[in-house]
Amino acid sequence: MPSNQVFSHVTAAVLLGLPLPLAVECDARVHVTALEGGRAPRRSGVAGYSTTGHPPVRQVRGLRVLAPADAWCSLAGRLQHDDLVAAGDRLVGLPSPLASFDEIDRAIARHGNRAGAANLRRARADLRANSYSRPETLARLALLRAGLPEAEPNGVIELRSGRRTRGDLVFRTYKVLVEYDGEHHRLDLGQWTTDVTRLNDLAADGWLVIRATKRMALADLVTRAERALRDRGWTR
């Protein structure tokens, strides 16, 4: 690959670990962008693009890749709103951020009026720090869209036992918590034991915990969260 070409779009997102819908992630093509007005590559199995600019580039396992914020911007014409927000939340999320909000804003400015510019601006308004997973983001957006108060992603909770823990989606004012249980929580005995102790400590401190799985419909989660919040005194 010539020195003025970099991996971008879906390929960059996968290399950087940005979460994508399965149908997009399984795109078998290699996405490559030519910088500084270079000619977009045209060959079998390659989706080629070109740009007159020179966006920042990172090395990922020895490969030249658009910097995380610019890679996210390159997805704007391909992803629906919630999917774009979920990928963007990873930029500023856990376990460690890939970009700052300032870097995201500069990348959006570099993107200019290219395809998906309006999508980027809408998604930027919904990005939140400290998200840990795509399901958390999709749940947060569904809860907001239903008119519920905004949950705090992975907020730190101080327990009376002296322990500090994080909750996936924390409604701190009402002491309501949405927790996602992945497969590893069920299959790993050590993790399961830790989870039980943690949930008991939360219950002892008066937290109402709603446990969600990947098989739970978002509509069901919204109904359960709304009922819990109302039980704790929330009104529209």
pLDDT for 196 equals 82
Largest CA distance in the chain: 63
Question: Which class does domain 135-231 fall in?
Answer: alpha beta
Average confidence (pLDDT) per 10 residues, the chain, 236 residues: 95 98 95 93 95 93 97 97 98 97 97 94 98 95 97 94 91 95 59 78 94 92 97 94
3-state secondary structure (DSSP) of residue 125: helix
Reported pTM:
0.93
Bridge partners for 32 per DSSP: 7, 48
Strands (DSSP E) found in 79-201: 152-158, 164-171, 176-180
> CATH 3.40.960 occupies which residues in the chain?
135-231
3-state secondary structure (DSSP) of residue 211: strand
Could you write out the three-class secondary structure of 26-66? Answer: CCCCEEEEECCCCCCCCCCCEEEEECCCCCCEEEECCEEEE
Q: Among all chains, which residue has been given the structure tokens 């070409």?
A: 5
